[in-house]
Amino acid sequence: MRVTLFITCFNDTLFPETGIAMTHLLERLGCEVEFPLDQTCCGQMHYNTGYQREALPLIQHFVQVFQEAEVVVSPSASCVGMVREQYPRAAAQFGDVSLAAQVAALLPRVYELSEFLTDVLGVEEVGAYFPHRVTYHPTCHSLRGLHVGERPLRLLRAVRGIDLVELPDAVECCGFGGTFAVKNADTSQAMLADKVRAALETKAEIVCAADNSCLMHIGGALSRQRAGMRVLHLAEILAATEEGV
Amino acid sequence: MGSRERTFQEGARVALANTQLRRNLGKATSTIRAKRARVVGELPDWEALREAGRAIKAHTLLHLDEYLVKLETSVIRAGGQVHWAEDAAEANRIVTELVQAAGAREVVKVKSLTTDEIKLNAALAQAGITVTETDLAELIIQLAGETSSHILVPAIHKNRAEIRAIFRQTIAKEQPLSDQPQDLAAAARAHLRRKFLSASVAISGANFAVAETGTVCVVESEGNGRMCLTLPQTLITVMGIEKVIPTFQDLEVFLQLLPRSSTGERMNPYTSLWTGVTPGDGPQTFHLVLLDNGRTHVLRDEIGRQTLQCIRCSACLNVCPVYARTGGHAYSSVYPGPIGAILTPQLANLERAETLPYASSLCGACYEVCPVKINIPEVLVHLRGQIVRHQGRTLSAEAAAMRWLARQFATRSRYERAQRLGRRAQWPVARHGVITRLPGMLAGWTATRDLLPLPKQTFREWWQQREGKP
C-alpha cells in the first residue's frame, strides 16, 4: 500500500525522530512510503485560537497537497482531528463549496497512525521489541476527538518486552491545549502538575502518547523537575526492534 | 467595551493559589463525576435519550416564537398571568412591582440561576424587600455574602468546617453546632421553617415549562423548593425563554436526563409540577415572567444557538479539568465552567467576558457528557473566531505573531526558510541544550516547563538526504 505521510509541521520541525520511526515502521510492514515536500501546516493552531481567516489558505494548501493520495497517515491525533472535524466546518464557514467537496472526498483517506495500523493494515503485533516500563497517556484528541479507544493500547500490549502500566486518571487532559498553555499558563500548569504526579506514581520510565504536542508539555515538566522519566511517541516504541529503530 | 473587568486568568490565579479550595473542588467534582458515570452507565438507551433531548430542544428553539405564545395561552387558560421581560432591568421591575402589589415585605426563594443572572435579590433589597434563599447551598452563600461557584451546588467550594463557621456567625449564634452534615442541615431547617410559614410570596425559576399545558416544572433535592411552591399565597416564576418544551410527554426525556447528569441520581427527590392555580390548593396567584436578556441574540447565531439547549445540569462543570482546578468564581459569572464559557459571552453579545472562550484546553470532556449534546468545543472555537474578528486589526503581539506564522506556513519555501531561521535565532536561549526561559508571551510556558531546542535536522531534511535529493 502506498502511504502518504502527513508528518505535521510540529513533528517535522521539533520531533523528526517520530517521523523517521514512522517511516521505518510502515516500511517494515510492507508499505510504500512517500512524503510530499510541499506540505506545511494543517492550520490547527490558527483555527482553534480564532485566527480562522488566516487558517483558510493553510487548509486549502493541505487539500491541494494531499488530494491525490491513496491514504494519508499522521503521527498526530490532534492534527488529524483538525482535518476531520474542523475542515468541513471551515469550508462551510467561508462558503467555499469546492473546498467542501474536496474535503469530503479526502477525509475518508486520512488516518491517525494507530487507526491506520489496526483498521487498515489490520495488525496489532508490529514486530516491535521495547524492554522498558511504559505508561500510556490517551490524549484528548485521540480519545474524545478521534475515538481511537483501545487501539494504541492494543498495539503497545503486543510489543515484546514491554512492561505496560496503567496511568491513574489517564483520561484527564494534561493541560496543553495549544495556545491554552501560554494564554492560561497558570491553569495549564495546575493540570500538568496532576498529570505529572500520576505519571510519577506509575514508576514508569517512559510516558507514551499518540501526540508529541501533549508529550512536549508533559516532558517539559518532567525535564524541569529532573524527574528521571522521559516521553516517547507511540511510533518510536512501535518502530523499535532488537536491532534498534 | 466597557470598564475593564477581571479576566479569567486573573480570577484563576487567585483560585489556583487557594489549596483548600483546590482540595474541596477536587473531592466534590470527582465524587459527583463517579456517581454520574455509574447511573448513566446503567441505561442501555442513554445515547438515544441524549439524541432525543437534543432534538426536542433544537426543534423548540427553531420554533420558539410559536411555543412561547402557546405557553402564554396555556398559562392564562389555567389561571396564571404572563409577563414578558426583554432584559434584566425589566424583569426586576416586574417582579418588584408584583411583590409590592401583594403587600409583601419578605419573600422566600427557590434556587434559581435565572434570578441570579438578573441580580434579582439586589433589586428586591433595594426596594426594601427581604429575600431568603431556601436551597441549603444558596442559603450558605447568601449568609456568607458570596456568590455561587457552581450551577448545581453553589457552595461546592466550601467544606463542612467553613459552613459551620458561617452558620455560627449568622443563623446559629446561640447554640452549639458540630460540623456534621445532619447538624448543619438541622440548623438551616430551623431557620427556614420560620420563613416558610411567614412568607406570603415565593419566587422561583423553572427547569421546564410545557407549552401544550402551561405546566411549569421545578426539579430539586431538598424539598425546600416544594415548601416555597406550595405554602405562600403568591408564586412568581422567572424563566428564560429557552426553557419551554412543546409537550408534557417531552418531560419523560428530560426527567431521565437531568437527575442522572446533575446529581448522579436515577431520580431526583422532588419534582414539582403546577399548572396555573388550583382553588383552595397552593398559591392562589401565579405569575410567569418570560425573560429574554440576550437569548434571542444567541438564537440568531447558527452555531452558537445550541448553547440554549442547556438544561443546567452542570455535568460539564464536574468533568472540566479547568473548572475542577479554578472553581466557579474565576469565571466571574453566574454561569461558570464550560457552559458558562460559551453562554456568558454570548448573552453579553461579546461585549464582555472575552477571555472566557479561551478558558478551555478543548479537551472535549464537556461535550462527551452533555445530556443534550451541546458541542461546547465547537462553540468555543466559533466564539474565539468572533473575538479575533471583533478585535480586527488591533495591534497585539499575538495577532502579529499569528499572522506572520500564517504567511510562513503558506508555501514550502517560506516554511523551510522559517525553520532555518528558527534554528539560528534560538541560539541565545538554547545554547545550554535545554530552553529554560523564553521571552514575552512564551514565558508562561517556561515558568514550569523546559523546552527542547529545535533539532539540527528537520524531518524533511532527513527525508531529502535519504532520497538523495536537495
Crossing angle for the helix pair B412-425 and B397-408, to the nearest 10 degrees: 130
- B463 neighbourhood in chain A, CB within 8 Å: 19, 23, 35, 37
In contact, B406 and A55? CB cutoff 8 Å: yes
Query: Among A93, A184, A213, which would you mutate to test the B interface (most chain B Cβ atoms within 10 Å of its Cβ)?
Result: A184
Considering only the beta carbons, identify the residue of B13, B419, B459 that sits closest to A7.
B459
Q: Please give the pLDDT value at position B431.
A: 77
Nearest-neighbour CA in chain A from B261: distance (Å): 19
Q: Which three cell numbers stand for residue A75?
A: 503521527
Higher pLDDT, B47 or B4: B47
DSSP β-ladder status, B201-204 and B234-240: parallel
* pLDDT tens per residue across span A40-61: 999 999 999 999 999 999 999 9
Nearest-neighbour CA in chain A from B337: distance (Å): 13
Q: Which helix (H) or strand (E) holds B143?
A: helix B136-144
Calpha distance A39→B365 (Å, rounded):
31
User: What residue spans of B327-451 are helical by DSSP H?
Assistant: 337-347, 365-369, 376-391, 397-408, 412-425, 427-430, 443-446
Calpha distance B154→B141 (Å, rounded):
7
A108 CB-contact burial (10 Å; exposed 0-12 / middle 13-18 / buried 19+)? exposed
Nearest CA in chain A to B421: A13
**What separation in angstroms does the CA of A7 have from each of A41, A45, A62, B171, B246?**
9, 16, 12, 64, 50
Calpha distance B361→A183 (Å, rounded):
10
* pLDDT tens per residue across span B158-171: 899 999 999 999 99
Tell me how far apart the terminal alpha carbons of chain B are, to the nearest angstrom: 53
Q: Say which range, A135-139, B153-157, B379-383, has the weakest mean pLDDT.
A: B153-157
Q: B364–A20: do the CB atoms touch at under 8 Å?
A: no
Q: What are phi and psi of A152, to 5 degrees?
A: -65, -35
Q: Please give the pLDDT value at position A130.
A: 98
Interface confidence, given as ipTM, is 0.97
**DSSP helix/strand/coil, B155:** coil
- pLDDT category, A103, cuts 50, 70, 90? very high
Is the pLDDT at B197 greater than 60? The verdict is yes
Considering only the beta carbons, identify the residue of B321, B406, B464 that sits closest to A54.
B406
User: What percentage of residues in chain B have a pLDDT greater than 90?
Assistant: 87
Question: DSSP for chain A?
Answer: -EEEE---HHHHHH-HHHHHHHHHHHHHTT-EEE--TT----SHHHHHHT-HHHHHHHHHHHHHHHTT-SEEEES-HHHHHIIIIIHHHHHHHTT-HHHHHHHHHHGGGEEEHHHIIIIIS--S----B--SEEEE---HIIIIIS--TTHHHHHHHTSBT-EEEPPTTTTS--S-TTTHHHHTHHHHHHHHHHHHHHHHHTT-SEEEES-HHHHHHHHHHHHHTT-S-EEEEHHHHHH-BTTB-
Calpha distance A220→B236 (Å, rounded):
56
Query: Among B30, B303, B362, which would you mutate to test the A interface (most chain A Cβ atoms within 10 Å of its Cβ)?
Result: B362
Nearest-neighbour CA in chain A from B366: distance (Å): 10
Q: Which residues contact B164 (CB under 8 A, 6 or more apart)?
A: B177, B178, B179, B184
Q: Please give the pLDDT value at position B393.
A: 66
The 8-class DSSP code of residue B278 comes to: B
Instruction: Kindly state the average pLDDT of the residues B368-376.
Output: 98
Q: Please give the pLDDT value at position B388.
A: 94
Calpha distance B365→B315 (Å, rounded):
10
**What separation in angstroms does the CA of B287 have from each of B80, B130, B239?**
6, 19, 11
- A193 neighbourhood in chain B, CB within 8 Å: 448
Question: Residue B237's closest CA among B205, B215, B267, B208?
Answer: B205
Residue with cell 479547568: B322
Q: Which residues contact B290 (CB under 8 A, 6 or more apart)?
A: B68, B71, B72, B82, B83, B84, B85, B239, B241
**Average pLDDT value for chain B:** 94
**DSSP helix/strand/coil, B45:** coil
Is the pLDDT at A27 greater than 60? The verdict is yes
Q: Which three cell numbers stand for residue A198?
A: 500520576
- Long-range CB pairs of B188-191 (<8 Å, 24+ gap) are B188/B136, B188/B139, B191/B139
Instruction: Kindly state the average pLDDT of the residues B79-92.
Output: 98
Is the pLDDT at B17 greater than 50? The verdict is yes
Q: Please give the pLDDT value at position B167.
A: 96
Q: Say which range, A94-103, B28-37, B82-91, B443-452, has the weakest mean pLDDT.
A: B443-452
- A11 neighbourhood in chain B, CB within 8 Å: 459
Q: Please give the pLDDT value at position B175.
A: 84
The 8-class DSSP code of residue B103 comes to: T
Is the pLDDT at B48 greater than 60? The verdict is yes
- A214 neighbourhood in chain B, CB within 8 Å: none
Is the pLDDT at B214 greater than 70? The verdict is yes
Calpha distance A76→A78 (Å, rounded):
5
The letter for the amino acid at B410 is A
**Average pLDDT value for chain A:** 97
User: What percentage of residues in chain A have a pLDDT greater than 90?
Assistant: 99
Q: Please give the pLDDT value at position B37.
A: 97
Instruction: Kindly state the average pLDDT of the residues A8-29.
Output: 98
- pLDDT category, B2, cuts 50, 70, 90? very low
- pLDDT category, B469, cuts 50, 70, 90? low
* pLDDT tens per residue across span B331-367: 999 999 999 999 999 999 888 889 999 999 999 999 9
Q: B406–A51: do the CB atoms touch at under 8 Å?
A: yes
Question: Residue B194's closest CA among B149, B231, B140?
Answer: B231
What length does chain B have?
A: 470
Query: Among B459, B461, B466, B467, which would you mutate to test the A interface (most chain A Cβ atoms within 10 Å of its Cβ)?
Result: B459
Q: Which helix (H) or strand (E) holds B219?
A: strand B215-220
Please give the model's pTM, rounded to 2 decimal places.
0.95
Q: Please give the pLDDT value at position A52.
A: 97
In contact, A144 and A184? CB cutoff 8 Å: no
Nearest-neighbour CA in chain A from B407: distance (Å): 8
Instruction: Kindly state the average pLDDT of the residues B413-442.
Output: 90
